[in-house]
Amino acid sequence: MPALLFAGILLLQGCSLLPSKESAETDTTTSPVSGETRESKGGEAFTVDVQAPDSVREYLERNLEIQRYRQLDDLGAIELSRLMVAAEANARELLNTVGYFTPTLTLELRETPGAKAPREVRITVVPGELTRVSNVQIDFSGPIAEDKESEPRRDAIRVDWPMRAGQPFNQQAWDNAKTAAQRNLTARRYATGSILTSRAEIDADRSEAKLGITLDSGPAYRFGPLVVQGNERFDADSVRRLARVPFGSDYDRQQLLDAQQRLAGSGYFESVFLTLDTHGTDPLAAPVIAQVREAPLQKVVAGVGFTTDSGVRFSLDHIHNSMPILGWRAVSGLYFDRDKQTIGTEWSAIPGDNGWRSFGSAQLKSEVSGSYTVDSGRLRGGRSQASDHIDRSYFLQYDYAQNHGFDPPPSASALSLNWGWTGRYFDNAAAPTRGQGVSLELGAGYTLTGERAPFTRTYIRWVGFVPFGTVESADRSQARSGRIQLRSELGAVVASDTAQIPTTLGFLTGGDTTVRGYGYRSIGAVRPDGTVIAGRYLGVASIEWQRPFVYQGKMTDWESTVFIDAGAVADHPNELETKVGVGVGARWRSPIGPVQIDVAYGIDVQKFRLHLRLGFTF
């Protein structure tokens, strides 16, 4: 039902794009002779028939200027003759832009009294031989040409040049190649680099193109001090510690974008824009201008969502960006869905010069866990650091859990010291197609209920994307790689059998992001009476083939998938019994992130389940 509702909304929106009857019947076009604007009543003076190879026919049909005048139903012979003369020159110009410089064109005017229009303009095109790149010369001017340390950089720009000898020449590819070369030049050190000269020498008789470009680097730049504009509540030093621009290092566009993203993602600002000041400044200490607009001091956010795991979800968040006395940021929230209700708060300080910040949190939760309902509480306090690819944390944690149901496990509490590390190495953090991510959690503590017993807790999570196969459109103009997604989870709580470990420190699996084909957190340790509880050992593995989808010969934003998931939970390693789910699905690269739609069959439960998910997180 959610998928059908979503499709219906899209169809309704698409209907608004259809032309109305009035707009379809009335059109205005400028006369090619008098220059006057005429209004057409819906008839056509002529049709245009382009006889050409598939490689150029659609391009000409879409871009020929003569197409604009078909609706002028009162065109005279002189006007139409003039249009045909202009159409020949226009067609030659269009063919030149796609690499055909020696075309043969024949234009005919045919009477077609019984057809859609009384006349037909037939344009027969023999495009001739396609012009290809014969030679490429890339030169440099400025400090990059004189600095021996920049030789690898010059070589890299030449290697990355996309238009190689032997490849077809066209104007769009030539413009794109020049733009890419300039962006490559200005990505690091040379922020004001530009194209000094460029030339494309076309030998039409030999169908060859000789390309040349000279790139002027301008001076080499280094990051200078951060200059903050627009701040009111937070001082410049706080903004500097949040942004972490590497003062004194060589200019790097990606580092500047990363600093901008850190400020935007901190929650303290509504808008952020970082630029390097290259006007009248010392290139070796160029100021970085941070234009910011601060977020409101306090904000309340209400939300509603849906997952196939837990149904409809409601949330209410309160954000305070500068708490009294402490000056910390507080995010408090209330969340509830079919199986879980949570209330909690997290406080965090602005990070120091080394990127580490202090934090504290408290949470109360009631959730369905296996065959029981668990009421739990958690207190946590420690330090954390978030960098571009790696997050680290260490903290002291108190857990309490009480189980409800028939013959529930005993209540338990524990105190533990924990360390966490997460590394993300994806090509795209929001919709990765290659790379990997790994997360490790280590904890050691004592139980506080019943027998005082030591325990350790280890949890490892990994996901990787490996390119596998390439899919091309029918005309081979577009290609995209498929991939294999591999995923695994391992967890272990090591303690004596008599130790009362809080249920919230144990493991359960199953659901949209773990073992598909099974209910959310429905796979756990099975007691003799058949009830399911959180277990001390966890193992999950998944393999999924994601392949781009071609429709009517054209590449789309959809991908098809097939997958196998497997998972097991038990209180002892020798009791692990694997539950397997298999299925197929689709991925849509939507404007707001990847949408995942899967239909999985749980082999153990012999049931099909639909799984929906929006976005990618690790």
Closest of 207, 139, 131 to residue 167, by C-alpha: 131
Q: What is the share, in percent, of the chain residues with pLDDT greater than 70?
A: 93
Q: Pairing mode, if any, of strands 390-404 and 119-126? A: unpaired
pLDDT at residue 12 is higher than 60:
no
How confident is the model over 271-295, as a mean pLDDT?
A: 92
**What Å distances lie between residue 204 and 101, 128, 135, CA to CA?**
6, 10, 15
Closest of 481, 437, 485 to residue 465, by C-alpha: 485
Q: What is the pLDDT of residue 618?
A: 85
Closest of 195, 200, 201 to residue 140, by C-alpha: 195
DSSP 331-372: EEEEEE-SSEEEEEEEEEPPP-TTSEEEEEEEEEEEEEETTE
For residue 500, give both structure tokens: 């009362």
pLDDT at residue 163 is higher than 70:
yes
Higher pLDDT pick, 456 / 205: 456
d(CA 564, CA 542): 6
Q: With left for phi above 0 and alpha for psi between -120 and 50, is residue 176 left, alpha or beta?
A: alpha
Q: What is the share, in percent, of the chain residues with pLDDT greater than 90?
A: 64
Name residue, tokens 């929006």: 614
How confident is the model over 546-563, as a mean pLDDT?
A: 91
230: Cβ contacts below 8 Å, ≥ 6 apart: 291, 292, 293, 294
For residue 172, give both structure tokens: 């769009």
Q: Minimum mean pLDDT among 240-254, 282-296, 297-311: which range? A: 297-311
- Condensed to tens digits (0 to 9), the pLDDT of residues 421-441 reads 999 999 888 889 999 999 999
How confident is the model over 92-101, as a mean pLDDT?
A: 92
Q: What is the pLDDT of residue 149?
A: 84
**Long-range contacts of 205-210, Cβ-Cβ distance < 8 Å, separation of 24 or more:** 205/102, 206/134, 207/101, 207/102, 207/128, 207/129, 207/130, 207/131, 207/132, 208/131, 208/132, 208/133, 208/134, 209/99, 209/131, 209/132, 209/133, 209/134, 209/169, 210/133, 210/134, 210/135, 210/137
Q: What is the pLDDT of residue 20?
A: 43
d(CA 245, CA 252): 10
d(CA 93, CA 265): 48
Q: What is the pLDDT of residue 388?
A: 78
d(CA 558, CA 574): 42
How many other CB atoms are found less than 10 A from the CB of residue 37? 9
Higher pLDDT pick, 58 / 10: 58
228: Cβ contacts below 8 Å, ≥ 6 apart: 236, 239, 240, 290, 292
pLDDT confidence of 44, banded at 50, 70, 90? confident
pLDDT confidence of 73, banded at 50, 70, 90? low
How confident is the model over 206-230, as a mean pLDDT?
A: 93
d(CA 9, CA 392): 42
Closest of 102, 94, 103, 104 to residue 172, by C-alpha: 94
Strand residues in 74-184 grouped as ranges (E): 104-111, 119-126, 132-141
Q: Pairing mode, if any, of strands 47-51 and 119-126? A: parallel
Name residue, tokens 């389940």: 609
Q: What is the pLDDT of residue 35?
A: 53
Q: What is the pLDDT of residue 18?
A: 43
How confident is the model over 293-308, as a mean pLDDT?
A: 90
pLDDT at residue 29 is higher than 70:
no
How confident is the model over 443-447, as a mean pLDDT?
A: 96
pLDDT at residue 345 is higher than 90:
yes
pLDDT at residue 225 is higher than 50:
yes
- Condensed to tens digits (0 to 9), the pLDDT of residues 386-399 reads 887 899 999 999 99
| The amino acid at 484 | I
pLDDT confidence of 15, banded at 50, 70, 90? very low
Q: What is the pLDDT of residue 492?
A: 97
Q: What is the pLDDT of residue 24?
A: 40
17: Cβ contacts below 8 Å, ≥ 6 apart: none
- Condensed to tens digits (0 to 9), the pLDDT of residues 481-502 reads 899 999 999 999 999 999 999 9
d(CA 319, CA 301): 8
For residue 199, give both structure tokens: 């030339």
Q: What is the pLDDT of residue 192?
A: 93
